[in-house]
Amino acid sequence: MSTTNYISKVVPDATAALEGLEDNMTVMFGGFGLCGIPENSIAAIREKGTTGITCISNNAGVDDFGLGLLLHTRQIKKMIASYVGENDEFERQMLSGELEVELIPQGTLAERCRAAGAGVPAFYTPAGYGTEVAEGKEVRVFNGKPHILEHAFDAPFAFVKAWKGDKAGNLIFKGTARNFNPMMAMAGKITVAEVEELVEVGELDPNSIHIPGIFVQRIFQGVDYEKRIEQRTVRAKSE
């Protein structure tokens, strides 16, 4: 591609990337557990004080890290997630009625993101049929098996984190951090990408790019990544 004729998506920092983010919006956050989460963006949202967020994320972080930081400051109104087992504050808020929660199968969560990015308004899936997940949803039978109708997400903002990106917004994810990030990058109306390394256009191998810049509206180089491990498991020392 040409390295001279492109639109730069670069913004100075996480604070600048939040322009247009308002109270009571639906927002996507990439990551799986604590892997590949947009740490800088979460910190900036906490500092900005945005409230009433409907949060679409695989999970809710832990008590003092990731989205758990926004739970502690009561900035999240509703969580749409597939796993929330590592966050005591999440449990407390859910049981007390302070937090709305929509738990959905992980594959359905992924497909609702993917469908939004692909322009597919809705789809049928057998996941969740016969459970609370299916309550109030249309059911159709395909090949003798009941399926429920699920709708694509509609999120004004998506915050994702990549390993490398260029100034045109092309992104490369690394290892497990790829997880939900590519699908959410495609799904958000405004996608903000924070990257560990921001390079000039032309420096990334085109064959290695996971998300082309057309899906990214803003990009910035993040700082001070903690990359905390959610559950560290090691073998016992050999005698």
Where along the chain do its domains lie? Answer: 14-120+153-221
Interacting residues of 177 by C-beta distance below 8 A, sequence separation 6+:
31, 32, 35, 36, 161, 162, 163
| Encoded amino acid at 187, one letter | A
Average pLDDT over residues 17-34: 96
The more confident residue out of 231 and 239 is 231
In this model, does residue 237 exceed pLDDT 80? no
pLDDT at residue number 163? 97
For the chain, counts of helices (H) and of strands (E): 6, 11
Whether CATH 3.40.50.920 fits 14-120+153-221: no
Q: Which amino acid appears at position 79 of this protein?
A: M
Mean pLDDT of 65-78: 96
Q: What is the pLDDT of residues 195-225, one digit of tens each?
A: 999 999 999 999 999 999 999 999 999 999 9
Query: Residue 1 above 60 pLDDT?
Result: no
Angstrom distance (rounded) from CA 179 to CA 195: 15
